[in-house]
Amino acid sequence: MLLNIKNIDVAYDDYQVIWNVSLNVKEGEIVALLGPNGSGKSTILNSISGLIKIKSGEINFNKIQINKYETYQRVGVGISHVLERRRVFPYLTVLQNLLLGAYHEKAKTEREKSLQNIYNFFPKLKDRSNQIANTMSGGEQQMLAIGRGLMGMPKLLMVDEPFLGLAPLVIEDLKLIFKKIAERGISILFVEQNVRLALSMAHRGYVLESGRLVIDGVSNDLINSKELKRVFLGS
Amino acid sequence: MTSQVIIQAIISGILMGLIYALIAAGLSLIFGLMEIVNFAHGDHLMLSMFSTFWFWMLFGIDPIFSIPLTIILMAFLGVFTHYFIIRKILNSTMLIQICATFGLAVTIRALAQFFFTPDFRTIKNPIIQGKFEVYGVFIGYPQLFASFVCLFAFILLYLFVTKTETGTALQATSQDRQAAEILGIPSNKMFALGWAIGLSCVAVAGSMLSNYYYVFPDVGVNFSLFAFVAVALGGFGSINGSLIAGVIIGIVESVGGLLIDPSYKLLYVFAVYLLVVILRPQGIFGRY
Ligand SMILES: Nc1ncnc2c1ncn2[C@@H]1O[C@H](COP(=O)(O)OP(=O)(O)OP(=O)(O)O)[C@@H](O)[C@H]1O
Ligand SMILES: [Mg+2]
């Protein structure tokens, strides 16, 4: 088990938003985290990368308990987080953004190799390597954000709403790329609102409702589940 | 009025402006990094000048040799300031942040009054003194030297921030703290580094100023006002902006003083500030 989350509670100050959530991700697995707006999907990713500290429970990664680690230490154990709404460094170039992805020691030694890999996945980033990030299109920035995450040589790549605002053709490309990434043994945990899209790519999925897990299972089972329809259509 | 007099004013203005630029760069760097305005910046400048003065007074070390010592002292003070004060107010409201650095300013100045007395001090017979004349324009060696050193420090700062890996990480932290943190960039260390660099800037400027300027506890007040105007004019957080803005302010101060009346120098600088606020509130290179 690569990522193993046990019974976590998360609160913003006194306002609890995650209740007793347990979740796990195996090596090479693609897992979708589903749920309506405000159900707590981003909050869960943020607690895994440490941007928010959990109130109780445990987060284990590669058999190490990491919930006490500072955010900046977590990339070193193998977790890359591609934040919601891309969050590339707007005034740095594409190349500078990518190189910062390999800031931590382990990734730094393999920097050139990782860069070539990422250029293979996203040739556009190579052509635009000297462009200032905030002058790139939304879709290009998404590629950059994912590329920057991969530069950290993660064992787990977490992506928050990777497909938001992308054209259908680009979505298909990106899905293929995610599959290739997973074939290399990198696990992917991603958040998505579009259930059909998410489950067409994921091996498994978890469904959140108001901060609680309501169902989980392999994609083929989930897609036909009544419970899933109730959560998303309210019927 | 001859053209020589005007050229004289412009040259003096540029020389002074380069010093303002370095002071402003330090202020702007700190602001850009953590959106905190260091209201004690002028008082840090004053401390640098006193540091230079005491190195000369107590140990006979000339200002041009005590620069590295003053830089080290101020850099440590910067790190110390971050860990003991700034770190605790990073997530506080703006009012609390203002009170914290403003309170720091008042404290530093009061301590300086107490320990150093309000006397005006000068460094007598520094290695660099005197002046020379070209085409009827007089240029003081200490002024010329000071602006060269400040310009040099400025270029080093620029190269550090834009060309080195740590500098890029510093920029990344200033552009998106969380995004930087998840890549393994510890923002707390970056902030401490920012304070060390910011105060090193005033250390260089202060060392060089004390070659020819009076050293006294209130000396930082006007400099910090000009630095604030330079930061606003250049654009908050923009280091390039502070260079241009510093020089503009130096020239406005000096030429305005010549053409109208030197006792209203501050007024001209603030007139420029008002113009900026009205016409281009984000400053020349600003993003905020
Ligand atoms: N910084 C914050 N402070 C206080 N409450 C927050 C904060 N961030 C999120 N919340 C609250 O936590 C809950 C979960 O938010 P979260 O962003 O995790 O949802 P989400 O499932 O990612 O939603 P979306 O699909 O809209 O991105 C929401 O009720 C939200 O209002
Ligand atoms: Mg979200």
pLDDT band at A232 (very low <50, low <70, confident <90, very high): confident
Determine which of B165, B173, B183 to mutate to test the interface with A (most A C-beta atoms within 10 Å). Answer: B183
Residue B280: per-residue pLDDT: 83
pLDDT band at A203 (very low <50, low <70, confident <90, very high): very high
Chain B partners of A50 at a C-beta cutoff of 8 Å? 181-182
Residue B33 has pLDDT above 80, yes or no: yes
Show the tokens assigned to A30.
Answer: 């693609």
Fold of B3-117+142-279: ABC transporter involved in vitamin B12 uptake, BtuC (1.10.3470)
Using the beta-carbon criterion (under 8 Å), do B183 and A74 form an inter-chain contact?
no
Per residue in A85-134, pLDDT tens? Answer: 999 999 999 999 999 999 999 999 999 999 999 999 999 999 999 999 99
Residue A20: per-residue pLDDT: 98
What is d(CA B215, CA B225) in angstroms, rounded to the nearest whole number? 17
Enumerate long-range contacts of A25-28, CB under 8 Å, 24 or more apart.
A25/A1, A25/A156, A25/A187, A25/A189, A26/A1, A26/A2, A26/A187, A27/A2, A27/A155, A27/A185, A27/A187, A28/A182, A28/A183, A28/A185, A28/A186, A28/A187
Window from B139-143, B161-165, B258-262 with minimum mean pLDDT: B258-262
Task: For each of the domains in chain A, give its residue range(s) and CATH number, in order of start.
Answer: 1-78+190-235 (3.40.50.300)
Residue B262: per-residue pLDDT: 79
Per residue in A51-62, pLDDT tens? Answer: 999 999 999 999
Q: What is the mean pLDDT of residues B162-172?
A: 97
Q: What is the mean pLDDT of residues A5-32?
A: 97
Per residue in B40-96, pLDDT tens? Answer: 999 999 999 999 999 999 999 999 999 999 999 999 999 999 999 999 999 999 999
**What share of chain B has pLDDT > 70, as a percent?**
99
Interchain CB contact of B171 with A (< 8 Å): yes
Mutate to test the pocket of ligand 1, among A14, A17, A52, A209 (most ligand atoms within 8 A of CB): A17
- Per the prediction, chain A carries an average pLDDT of 96
The answer to whether B5 touches B259, Cβ cutoff 8 Å, is no
Residue B128: per-residue pLDDT: 95
pLDDT band at B261 (very low <50, low <70, confident <90, very high): confident
pLDDT band at B287 (very low <50, low <70, confident <90, very high): low
Using the beta-carbon criterion (under 8 Å), do B187 and A103 form an inter-chain contact?
no
Using the beta-carbon criterion (under 8 Å), do B179 and A88 form an inter-chain contact?
yes
Reported ipTM: 0.95
Residue B270, H or E segment: helix B265-279
DSSP letter string over A18-36?
A: EEEEEEEE-TT-EEEEE--
pLDDT band at B11 (very low <50, low <70, confident <90, very high): very high
Crossing angle of helices B220-234 and B239-259, in 10° steps, is 120
Q: Distance of alpha carbon A177 from its chain centroid, rounded?
A: 14
**What share of chain B has pLDDT > 90, as a percent?**
83
What is d(CA B184, CA B145) in angstroms, rounded to the nearest whole number? 41
The shortest C-alpha distance from B132 to chain A (Å) reads 44
Residue B1: per-residue pLDDT: 63
- Per the prediction, chain B carries an average pLDDT of 94
What is d(CA A51, CA A44) in angstroms, rounded to the nearest whole number? 10
CA neighbours closer than 13 Å in the CB half-sphere of residue A178:
29
* Per-domain residue ranges of chain B: 3-117+142-279
Using the beta-carbon criterion (under 8 Å), do B186 and A99 form an inter-chain contact?
no
The answer to whether A222 touches A199, Cβ cutoff 8 Å, is yes
- Which stretches does DSSP call E strand in chain B? 131-134, 137-140
The shortest C-alpha distance from A89 to chain B (Å) reads 6
The shortest C-alpha distance from B179 to chain A (Å) reads 7
Residue A235 has pLDDT above 60, yes or no: no
Residue B288 has pLDDT above 70, yes or no: no
**What share of chain A has pLDDT > 70, as a percent?**
100
Show the tokens assigned to B18.
Answer: 């380069």
